[in-house]
């Protein structure tokens, strides 16, 4: 049995979702002889906007690479797992139709949910998402990436009207609006942490500059280039594989040892309380309350859970 997962409202996450077998199923706008021609960016924006408001999710930064997605998200309601399950299914369905793919788009296991604590961790992971195409040796700057990628300027807030993709077969399904609003930017909680959006943008830009310079040195200025990226076949796959596994969710505190110890202690206490509640259920008890942050046992099976009360800031 896997360890219990705890998702609390008001949490920042870095989320990574990879394509099955590292295939390039999200390659941006590869030519297709099918009748569907929506960009992968449009498919991502529509699927994300379709569920973000419902589940209380705010997109802070994103980069859709050819075989995986990097996002920094703010989970206002503690429902990030539900959001990603629904969003990723819709995105996968539309991508499969777009490229005529015969099998799954994403790996079946959950992607990485990396809890971010503190301004340094948040700024660094936002920069990491934006720098990913450069660090991968694909383009010399984030602006050259032909797929979906956010910018430092987007932290100030940007809204885009996105038309329902033709790739979605249920065109008459009224739950899928003809047009949705995709929003990206710093939530007010992030602004309060950094003091202002300007300060947040400056810190992200600093991290981003360092990552890009390091990547350019590492690749000696040799990058695949925009045209080669666009020519990547969605039926191909990467030659290398990355190590899979680890804690879900993980946490990043950017060197703040005290915060890391506190969060680890909180997780251990949560899992102890969760195990006790689960044993009570197995023993046949009906009125069982699970600890705050419990997901599946609450949303799927209807068990009560404690109300989460955040601790006052130190």
Domain residue limits, the chain? 11-255, 259-305
**CATH classification of 11-255, choosing from 3.40.50.2300, 1.10.3720.10, 3.40.50.300, 3.30.70.1290?**
3.30.70.1290
Prediction pTM value: 0.91
Alpha helix ranges (H) inside the chain = 40-55, 80-99, 119-135, 188-194, 197-218, 226-230, 257-282, 296-299
Say how far apart CA 52 and CA 182 lie, in whole Å. 9
Task: Read off the DSSP letter of residue 165.
Answer: P
Token digits of residue 27 = 């390659």
| Phi, psi (degrees; rounded to nearest 5) at 91 | -60, -45
What pLDDT, on a 0 to 100 scale, did the predictor assign at position 57?
Answer: 97
pLDDT in tens, the chain (314 residues): 467 888 999 999 999 999 988 899 999 987 765 666 789 999 999 999 999 999 999 999 999 999 999 999 999 999 999 999 999 999 999 999 888 888 889 987 665 688 999 999 999 999 999 999 999 999 999 999 999 999 999 999 999 999 998 877 666 677 788 899 999 999 999 999 999 999 999 999 999 999 999 999 999 989 999 999 999 998 888 876 655 555 445 778 777 888 888 888 888 999 999 999 999 999 999 899 999 999 889 988 899 999 887 765 54
């Amino acid at each position: 049995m896997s360890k219990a997962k705890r998702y609390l409202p008001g949490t920042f996450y870095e989320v990574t979702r990879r394509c099955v077998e590292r295939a390039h199923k999200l390659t941006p706008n590869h030519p297709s002889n099918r009748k569907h021609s929506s960009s992968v960016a449009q498919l991502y924006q529509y699927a994300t906007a379709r569920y973000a408001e419902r589940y209380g999710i705010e997109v802070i930064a994103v980069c859709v690479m050819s075989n995986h997605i990097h996002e920094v998200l703010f989970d206002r309601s503690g429902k990030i797992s539900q959001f990603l399950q629904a969003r990723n299914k819709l995105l996968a369905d539309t991508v499969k139709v777009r490229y005529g793919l015969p099998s799954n788009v994403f790996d079946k296991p959950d992607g990485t949910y990396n809890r971010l604590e503190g301004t340094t961790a948040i700024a660094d992971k936002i920069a990491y998402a934006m720098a990913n195409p450069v660090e991968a040796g694909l383009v010399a700057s984030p602006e050259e990436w032909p797929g979906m990628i956010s910018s430092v300027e987007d932290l100030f807030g940007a809204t885009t009207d996105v038309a329902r993709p033709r790739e979605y077969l249920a065109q008459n399904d009224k739950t899928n609006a003809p047009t949705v609003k995709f929003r990206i930017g710093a939530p007010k909680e992030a602004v309060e942490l950094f003091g202002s959006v300007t300060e947040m943008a400056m810190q992200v830009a600093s991290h981003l500059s360092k990552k890009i310079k390091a990547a350019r040195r590492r690749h000696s200025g040799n990058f695949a280039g925009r045209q080669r990226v666009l020519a990547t076949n969605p039926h191909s796959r990467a030659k290398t594989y990355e190590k899979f596994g680890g804690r879900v969710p993980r946490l990043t505190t950017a060197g703040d040892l005290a915060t890391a110890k506190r969060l680890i202690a909180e997780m251990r206490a949560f899992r102890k309380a969760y195990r006790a509640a689960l044993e009570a259920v197995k023993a046949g008890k009906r009125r069982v309350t699970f600890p705050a942050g419990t997901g599946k046992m609450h949303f799927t099976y209807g068990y009560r859970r404690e109300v989460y009360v955040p601790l006052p800031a130190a």
